[in-house]
Amino acid sequence: MATTADFKNGLCLKHNGKLFQIVEFQHVKPGKGPAFVRTKIRNLENGRLVDNTFTAGVKIDFVRIERRPYQFLYKDESGYNIMHQQTFEQVSIPEGLIDHPQFLREGMEIEATVHAETEEFLSAEVPSFIDAEITYTEPGMKGNTATNTLKLATIDTGAEIRVPLFINMGDKIRVDTRTGEYSERIKDKA
């Protein structure tokens, strides 16, 4: 058992029977009354941020969480099938644990957060940026780079995003998976 003096950003703890990760914390020593620790903690089951106050020195049950590299294989009726990069162990996880499943492509590397003692999957993250090819969009017009007008486009993962007017079918682009927005066009290295 540890205490609030051991708090660090990113540490995981069990609080009220649920798993939380410390996002930020602040030790407060008021002029009158006992010291306390004001925290922002993220619920690892649903991703919600919660403000919580702990009395200084109270015992906290820390939990060991590991981030492991996995490769996305395929999706079927049992869920998303992924394989551990070093052990080649294959597991199936539900869609709700993946942060942006619409950007997954077969063979893509993802990072999973796993409870070390119970081997329970808590979440899986797609890379922050992916390179994708436009499979469908309305034809673009040359010279349409001056305005910030956007149009709908479908990328090779099946996701729909908004892109500038000058983007055409077959163009390769970089997509920010955290926001689902177009980032830049990738030039061919010819």
190 assigned to some structural domain: no
pLDDT band of residue 9 (cuts 50, 70, 90) is confident
Domain count, the chain: 3
pLDDT at 173 over 60: yes
Return the CATH number at 77: 2.40.50.140
Q: Which domain holds residue 163?
A: 129-185
Instruction: Say yes or no: 71 and 117 in one domain.
Output: yes
Q: Which residue has the higher pLDDT, 141 or 135?
A: 135
pLDDT at 160 over 60: yes
Mean pLDDT, the chain, as a whole number?
Answer: 87
Q: Which two tokens stand for residue 23?
A: 């996002």
Instruction: Say yes or no: 33 and 57 in one domain.
Output: yes
CA dist., res. 152 & res. 131, Å (int): 17
pLDDT band of residue 73 (cuts 50, 70, 90) is very high
Instruction: Say yes or no: 12 and 38 in one domain.
Output: yes
Q: Which two tokens stand for residue 159?
A: 């996701």
Q: Which residue has the tokens 């020593």?
A: 29
User: pLDDT at position 62, please?
Assistant: 87
